[in-house]
Amino acid sequence: MLFSLQELLLFALAALVLVLTPGPNMVYCVSRSLTQGPSAGLISLTGVVLGFVVHLLAAALGLTALLAAVPLAFDAIRYAGAAYLLWMAWQAVKPGGAAPFEARNLPHDSPRTLFLMGFMTNLLNPKVAMFYLSFFPQFLHPERGQLLQQSLTLGAVQISTSAAVNALLVLGAARVALFLNRNAAWMRAQRYFMGTVLGLLALKLLTEKKAAA
């Protein structure tokens, strides 16, 4: 068995927190939904999902080769990943954080252009590559073998979580934007909640690693 149910649930929760943290993909899809309608947002999201698949395959193959060749690299990647989670926690709570439900002036484009722009937005987003390379090793178990299969399993969970959450946000973008405009305090609370969870997750991973050493 590659993962226990508890491990998969913890990873799914972490993926949920990360997808709810505003980034270029969410901002683009929500903006498309607000300016061109939910169908445009969903088409854009389809391109984003394909970009996730490309990032996942590259990271899974790269991590498998690296950890097989240099076992000591595993600890270094884990620590770097925990540091990255702490950086993301700061990005969530720092003043002037991203506001994905603020309407942006985008032109009306064809479905093909929407799909390609969603794909390129994700493909060229360095945060996604950094996420896979730093976050996945926190949940990989080299002693269980089959690192490629482990990575692909985690990737399937992450992509499914991201696609489902972003689809709900795209479909409800107009209502959510109206709610947030009337309840600015809720958005601030959400940012601090996300930052706290990311920070605690990073510290938990670091503590577990030290305990196991």
Average pLDDT of 122-126? 80
pLDDT at 100: 53
pLDDT tens for each residue of 44-60: 999 999 999 988 888 88
pLDDT of 161 reads 93
**Closest CA relative to residue 159, chosen from 117, 120, 200, 131:** 131
Which residues contact residue 119 at a Cβ distance below 8 angstroms, ignoring those fewer than 6 apart? Answer: 47, 48, 50, 51
Please say if the pLDDT value at position 212 is more than 50.
no
Least confident piece of the model among 1-10, 26-35, 46-55, 79-88: 79-88
Band of pLDDT at residue 163, cut at 50, 70 and 90: very high
Question: Which of 36-56 are b and which e, b meaning 16 or more Cβ less than 10 Å from the residue's Cβ?
Answer: bebebbbbbbbbbbbbbeebb
Between these two residues, 178 and 196, which has the higher pLDDT value? 196
Mean pLDDT over each residue of the chain, to the nearest integer = 77
pLDDT band (50, 70, 90) for residue 159: very high
116 confidence band (pLDDT: 50, 70, 90): very high
Amino acid 181: pLDDT: 61
| Most confident of the following: 45-59, 128-142, 193-207 | 45-59
Mean pLDDT of the 111-138 span? 82
Using alpha carbons, select from 6, 85, 72 the residue that is nearest to residue 213: 72
pTM: 0.73
Q: Is the pLDDT of residue 210 over 70?
A: no
Alpha-carbon torsion 142, 146, 148, 149, what sign?
negative
Residue found by looking up tokens 């990360």 in the block: 18
**Alpha-carbon distances, residue 14 vs 96, 124, 126, 212 (angstroms):** 24, 23, 19, 21
Distance between CA atoms of 96 and 199, rounded to whole angstroms? Answer: 19
> Are the C-beta atoms of residues 159 and 46 closer than 8 Å to each other?
no
Q: Is the pLDDT of residue 194 over 70?
A: no
Q: If pLDDT is split at 50, 70 and 90, which confidence band does 213 have?
A: very low
